[in-house]
Amino acid sequence: MALKRVWIPSPNYSSRGGSGVRLIVLHTAEGARTIESLGGFFQGDVGASSHTGADDKVNTIGEYVKRSNKAWTQANYNPAAVAIELCGFASWSRDEWMNNHRNMLDNCAKWIAEEAAHFGIPITKLSAGAAQGSGRGVCQHADLGSGGGGHWDCGSGFPMDHVLDLARGGVPAPSEEDENLIASAVSESGVHHVFWVGEDGKTVWYRYQRRGESDWNDGGTLLKSNEKIVGLSASKSATGVLELFGRQADGGPVHTWQKPNQTAWSGGEEGKQRAAFTGLPK
Ligand SMILES: [Zn+2]
């Protein structure tokens, strides 16, 4: 799911003056606890801003300055940086971050992945020397030293490695998250089926509507996968077999089918699902 960006424009920005972006810089806001209150602060005449901010809301960040412009948050390095302010504190321990602010870390990671993809910046942790030199990657405000304003955020407890691991997981394709997890098809006898993946990501449920009827009947569980299912497809073959295919997160397929004018589904158990596809590339 692409990160939702809530646009709260700040007047505190300027042109990058032709500079390219090589730094993805993480900060802690040291006060504001929500992206809205942070955005409100940056709308004031405070001579400061950030491109974005993150709080504990699921899959949502605040955006205050467009990435094509220069935000004012790390002094000499502003022209070369794109920045996020986490609505937390540099004094937080690793446990505080990991136990109570998972969503904020996830949001930060997704933002890193999106910016890295946009600017072609590698998702690697820069040393202070590389950050202050000509390195391309991700750093914390503290890594920029006195030229960056001499701050110490995001603090020694910030789980940078965890966030970068999450970010390297990539930007999940929207289709894998929520668009391809429902499918429908009409059988030979005119029964309309709809299939969807349940909340556990591994169970396919279905309902069906008989020809000429308006009620939907609960078909229950159609199959259970041992891996997360990230895509579904349903179709009817030329000989009238209703086919349901799922793609598992590990690349393997799951498959079940219903012969024409029958109600039973075949191949629903794991062994058969896999056996039908032995040797296919993942
Ligand atoms: Zn900072």
CATH code of the domain covering residue 84: 3.40.80.10
The answer to whether the CB of 55 falls within 8 A of the CB of 34 is: yes
Taking alpha carbons only, the member of 274, 183, 270 closest to residue 223 is: 270
Quick one: 42 and 148 in the same domain? yes
pTM over 0.85: no
CA of 224 to the centre of ligand 1 (A): 47
CA of 93 to the centre of ligand 1 (A): 17
Quick one: 44 and 161 in the same domain? yes
CA of 249 to the centre of ligand 1 (A): 37
Task: Note the pLDDT of residue 115.
Answer: 97
Q: How far is CA 257 from CA 219, 221, 234, 249, 265, in A?
A: 14, 14, 10, 21, 5
| 76: containing domain | 4-172
CA of 18 to the centre of ligand 1 (A): 23
75 three-class SS: helix
Question: Mutual orientation of helices 102-119 and 160-168 as an angle, nearest 10°?
Answer: 60
Quick one: 58 and 15 in the same domain? yes
- The H or E element containing residue 12 is none
Q: How far is CA 64 from CA 9, 68, 105, 134, in A?
A: 5, 12, 19, 26
CA of 1 to the centre of ligand 1 (A): 28
Task: Note the pLDDT of residue 249.
Answer: 79
Residues with Cβ–ion distance below 5 A, ligand 1 = 27, 141, 151, 153
CA of 41 to the centre of ligand 1 (A): 15
Task: Note the pLDDT of residue 133.
Answer: 96
The answer to whether the CB of 77 falls within 8 A of the CB of 130 is: no
CA of 73 to the centre of ligand 1 (A): 6
Q: Rounded to an integer, what distance in angstroms lies between the CA atom of residue 61 and that of residue 56?
A: 9
Q: Could you give the number of structural domains in the chain?
A: 2
CA of 3 to the centre of ligand 1 (A): 22
In this structure, is residue 56 part of a structural domain? yes
Last residue of a domain, one of 142, 172, 202: 172
CA of 30 to the centre of ligand 1 (A): 9
CA of 38 to the centre of ligand 1 (A): 13
CA of 85 to the centre of ligand 1 (A): 7
CA of 76 to the centre of ligand 1 (A): 13
CA of 84 to the centre of ligand 1 (A): 9
Print pLDDT tens along the chain (282 aa): 689 999 999 999 999 999 999 999 999 999 999 999 999 999 999 999 999 999 999 999 999 999 999 999 999 999 999 999 999 999 999 999 999 999 999 999 999 999 999 999 999 999 999 999 999 999 999 999 999 999 999 999 999 999 999 999 854 444 344 556 899 999 999 999 999 998 888 889 999 999 999 999 998 888 888 888 888 899 999 999 999 888 887 777 888 889 998 888 887 555 455 545 555 555
CA of 154 to the centre of ligand 1 (A): 7
Quick one: 69 and 111 in the same domain? yes
Quick one: 21 and 113 in the same domain? yes
CA of 105 to the centre of ligand 1 (A): 16
Task: Note the pLDDT of residue 230.
Answer: 86
Quick one: 126 and 21 in the same domain? yes
